Amino acid sequence: MGDRAAKDALFDGFADVAKALANGRRAELIDVLAQGERHVEELADEIDQSVANTSFHLRTLASAGLVVTRRDKNRIYYRLASDRVIDLWTALRDVAAAHHAELDALAAAYLGRRDELDEVSRAELSARIAAGDVVVVDVRPAAEYAAGHIAGARSIPAERLARELRDLPDDVEVVAYCRGPYCVFADDAV
Amino acid sequence: MGDRAAKDALFDGFADVAKALANGRRAELIDVLAQGERHVEELADEIDQSVANTSFHLRTLASAGLVVTRRDKNRIYYRLASDRVIDLWTALRDVAAAHHAELDALAAAYLGRRDELDEVSRAELSARIAAGDVVVVDVRPAAEYAAGHIAGARSIPAERLARELRDLPDDVEVVAYCRGPYCVFADDAV
DNA sequence: CTCTCATTCAAGGACTCTTTTGAATACTCG
DNA sequence: CGAGTATTCAAAAGAGTCCTTGAATGAGAG
């Protein structure tokens, strides 16, 4: 008890979990899976990688215990192992945003100029939903809407938005939302 | 805005932070630094590595923004960049403990049989400190005691314990504590 | 200024990770 | 059972990581 080899092995175990997140493509997978379960081909499409490579990354995540699978017909669905994984992902993003020197520039390059958008706080949004003077649009993929969404929101995935824009009412304000601070669907939608 | 290369770069940025934690020795460094700042040679000693290799790992952590340095005379002290890093480390440990299949075995191998020890809850401990019927001993290294400790605790680093054991009073109970659930100083002390 | 010491750098060899390609599994449905 | 499809495996090239050794840096003290 308490010997060096055992301590190394234990902390290597902690490091294994970090190693699973230590790849940009796997980080994207976690970010997508935080919205709900998806199958391999969808995930490959989300991260723009081959199905084989995506499957490999998912296996890496699975063997670190971050994701689990479920079979339905002949599709295999992956989902996060628990909400704790979301907490870990959030903590990682927070630390990166706070301390990683280049992250501001990277985020700006991907997200564009956010200051040209109008933001709506959570409290304000729920007040206005209750008052009925706003239409909320969920611009995430249909699978993520199906896995859970803001009550009363309408699903219009980003790629269908141009076609369905005319169906939205003219006389009330429209609010678009997506996955979180590092998701551009809503920005594009506006 | 929103193009694939920029998204890859952004998530590679998140992965950089995970990569910094993706090594057992660096994980040990974070765990030690969570107790307070230390200089390179002390840290090398804690993780049983050469000073050069420890310095290399610390640089890796520093360039991911997880630790920062401070010079005092001709010593360089490292400390965590902020409490957010502690949150990240805690979240990582939690996920590992909950989902990593082999971690139970590794922890048992390092920690030994914890069930032979008497545990004292936080509430109970503070009540008994107030009542004065307990002596609390901090068995961490002196530097960590200096960086912060339970009010009223007495510092007896593990390596001095055998010598100073006779000085402890016979008539009240003694409670030992150290860094947290993955630290064996207190177990050894008992 | 020079000496000293803590820390960092550089080069190397062994090892691991990422991605692609093409083939192999494993399951469902007819 | 057999066809069809989603997923995983295997091999290989190229890149990156870890740790050791020995030398270099740079701040403080004399």
What pLDDT shows up at residue A14?
93
Q: Is A71 on the interface with B (CB under 8 A)?
A: no
User: Which residues between 5 and 24 in chain B have a beta carbon less than 8 angstroms from any beta carbon of chain A?
Assistant: 6-19, 21-24
- Asked whether the predicted pLDDT for residue A1 surpasses 70, the reply is no
Closest CB to A27 among B2, B14, B48: B14
- The pLDDT of residue A2 is 55
- Under an 8 A CB cutoff, do A81 and B66 touch? no
The one-letter amino acid code at B53 reads N
**pLDDT confidence band for A62 (50 / 70 / 90):** very high
Nearest to A38 by CA among A139, A138, A144, A140: A144
As a residue count, chain A comes to 190
Q: By percentage, how much of chain A surpasses pLDDT 70?
A: 98
- Residue whose CA is minimally distant from C5 C1': B74
Task: Look at B103 and B84; give whichever has higher pLDDT.
Answer: B84
Q: What is the mean pLDDT of residues B117-134?
A: 84
At A32 the pLDDT is 92
Q: Which of residues 128-157 of B touch A (CB under 8 A)?
A: none
Nucleotides in chain D near protein beta carbons (<7 Å): 4-10, 17-23, 26-29
Which residues fall within 8 angstroms of residue B103, CB to CB, at 6 or more apart?
A10, A13, A14, B96, B97
Main-chain dihedrals φ then ψ at residue A80, nearest 5 degrees: -65, 150
Whose C1' is closest to the CA of A26: which nucleotide?
Answer: C18
Q: Look up B183 and say whether it is catalytic.
A: no
pTM equals: 0.88
Query: What number of other Cβ atoms are within 10 A of residue B42's Cβ?
Result: 17
- Is-contact B48 B24, C-beta < 8 A? no
Per-residue model confidence as pLDDT tens digits over B155-183: 888 878 877 877 788 778 888 888 888 88
SS3 state of residue A4? helix
Distance CA B30, CA B24 (A): 10
Asked which of A142-151, A162-171, B46-55, B96-105 is least confident by mean pLDDT, the reply is: A162-171
Interface membership of B31 toward A (CB under 8 Å): yes
Is residue A135 within 8 Å of A169, Cβ to Cβ? Answer: yes
Judge whether residue A134 has pLDDT over 50. yes
How far is CA B38 from each of CA A109, B65, B124, rounded to the nearest angstrom? 37, 17, 31
Q: How far is B49 from chain A (nearest CA, A)?
A: 11
Helix or strand run (H / E) with residue B82: none
Work out the average pLDDT over B58-85.
91
Provide, in whole angstroms, the distance separating residue A91's CA from nucleotide C20's C1': 33
- Mean pLDDT, rounded, for B21-46: 92
Annotated catalytic residues of A are 178
Measure CA A190 to chain center: 19
Q: For residues A118 and A112, give the distance between their C-alpha atoms in angstroms, rounded to a whole number.
A: 14
Task: Annotate A50-75 with b (16+ C-beta within 10 A) or e (fewer).
Answer: eeeebbebbebbbebbbbeeeeeeee
Question: Of all nucleotides in the shown strands, which has a C1' nearest the CA of A56?
Answer: D8
Strands (E), A19-171: 38-39, 67-72, 75-80, 134-138, 154-155
Residue carrying the six token digits 């949150």 = B87
E-strand ranges in A33-147 read 38-39, 67-72, 75-80, 134-138
The answer to whether residue A56 scores a pLDDT higher than 60 is yes
pLDDT of B19 above 90: yes
Mean pLDDT of A73-85: 90
What is the average pLDDT across B2-14? 86
pLDDT over 80 (residue B113) = no
